[in-house]
Amino acid sequence: MDVILGFMNSHAVWGWIIVGLLLLIAETFSGDFFLAGPAAAALLVAAVLAVHPPLLPNLNGQLLAFAALAFALGISARRISAPWRDDAAADGINDRMGRTLGRETLANGEFVGGRGTVQVDGVMWRARLEEGETVPSGAPLIVTAHRNGQLIVRRLQPGGAAGGPSEP
């Protein structure tokens, strides 16, 4: 740690440029503009030190300036980048249960006490009936909701409006 502090005290401009570039490199891997503000802040501190060093004479002042700039630019970068970010494209990408809603399937085995299992997209899920206690194995079901790690299903009537199950 003394080596880093010694370098920052003797070569502050280069130290802040290195910090800024490392943050920019890390930003390229994150891709969400989270580190763009702090990277710009580090480069701004380096620019101020290069142009007018007495403005930030010691490491404490530099760190304070960096923190304030990183906070302000971090918020600004998020707002400025909004037109280029497509947050809606990722909706549901990690919500596997949410993607099962409305899907038709078959009971894997007999539902006893309103509980059993179903398979949707090759994944076995614990399921609970909306109403009723038993469903025979192979009965057509539709996923209507999910709660506490289980799918909530309703029995489809044979030849119903949904046209039967879409998965074996």
Which part of the chain is CATH 2.40.50.140?
Answer: 98-155
Mean of per-residue pLDDT scores for the chain? 83
* 86-111 confidence digits (pLDDT tens): 555 555 667 788 888 999 999 999 99
Between CA 100 and CA 161 the distance in angstroms is 19
pTM as predicted: 0.48
* 109-160 confidence digits (pLDDT tens): 999 888 999 999 888 999 999 887 788 999 999 999 998 889 999 998 776 5
98-155 adopts what CATH topology?
Answer: OB fold (Dihydrolipoamide Acetyltransferase, E2P) (2.40.50)
Q: Of residues 5 and 68, which shows the higher confidence score?
A: 68
Between CA 27 and CA 99 the distance in angstroms is 30
High-pLDDT (> 90) share of the chain, %: 39
Could you tell me the two tokens for 9? 């005290």
Question: pLDDT value at position 151?
Answer: 93
